[in-house]
Amino acid sequence: MIFKNIKINGRYIIKDNDLILYNGGSGISFKMQGKSFTVYALCIPSPGYIYIIVDRQFDKKTKVLISKDSYTYTFEDDKPHLIDVVKTNECNDNALRIENLAVDGELLPFDHLYKNKVVVYGDSTVAGFGILSQSGDASIHNCDSVEDFVFSGLYEMNMDIDILSASGYGLAFSIYTCPNNIGIYDFFKNVGVHKRAEWPIKPCNLLIISLGTNDNSYIQDNPAEREERINTFKQKHKAIIDAYVEANSNTKILMVGGTLKEQNVYYLYEETYRYLRSFYKNLTMHLFDGDNSAISNHAYVTAHERMKDELKAVIKQIL
């Protein structure tokens, strides 16, 4: 695959001339004029989904199941168009391997300008795990990172987005990993969870961290080690922030919680925020008025719509 005039979004590796994308919200962007384009791609190890967004019209995006080796999108006109092809499944589900992009027309220089670079670290509330509507086919096994409030909000704000997110993972701990002291911290410099290819820390304008629910489950299961585990959570939180502040001292940091109205976890956010705010002048914490639960304790899509607007308002105050 030739990457001239193609912008790669999110985290990726290039192997055997193929582009491999791991995280939900990663993808490619390009500008073209012509009749159609064809994406030659597959999801490994199981089929997955992409969204095709034309001219940044998020509400008119097309969802495509990648179960074959190619998909062709045809235009109704012959005007120049800006295209985003975005992976929707999170890194725990699969990887998206793009082998080629064929344009029936002309691939134009990519000239879209973004407002800010935003890096996100999160758990399933950011991976979009099980956020379907109450009247729809709700399933915790049908994730949609693109519909999640973080990606959709940042996209609508015209941000350049880099997300690392994985269901079940805390920042420092998780009852779902083996051993239980594995968390996002162990992978924050990688392209994805359990993907050992290194991802360089790059300067960003805003760092969002939405982690704590899975950590809390592990912290609470052993009262004798509770304080030690909380301190570990704080220190690893700080280590991630330090890496980005070192790259850009003006980076704004936003701690996010409350997507499930998990009042029993608020202490962890609040204690960590009090600890960290003495180190960083640009630190903000926001607790959402989230959703009690939809399915397997994850917010419904209606709550994500509300939290998206809330997030956008908070970011406008920060940046």
Q: What is the pLDDT of residues 171-223, one digit of tens each?
A: 999 888 889 999 999 999 999 987 779 999 999 999 999 999 899 989 998 89
pLDDT at residue 170, as a whole number: 94
Tokens of 209: 């961290």
- As a whole number, the mean pLDDT across the chain is 91
Comparing CA positions, the residue from 73, 80, 26 lying closest to residue 55 is 80
The CATH topology of domain 6-108 is: Jelly Rolls (2.60.120)
pLDDT at residue 188, as a whole number: 96
Confidence tier at 225 by pLDDT (50, 70, 90): very high
Where do the domains of the chain lie? 6-108, 117-318
pLDDT at residue 52, as a whole number: 97
Alpha-carbon distance 96 to 123, whole Å? 20
pLDDT at residue 132, as a whole number: 53
> Class of 117-318 per CATH?
alpha beta
Whether the pLDDT of residue 316 is over 90: the answer is yes
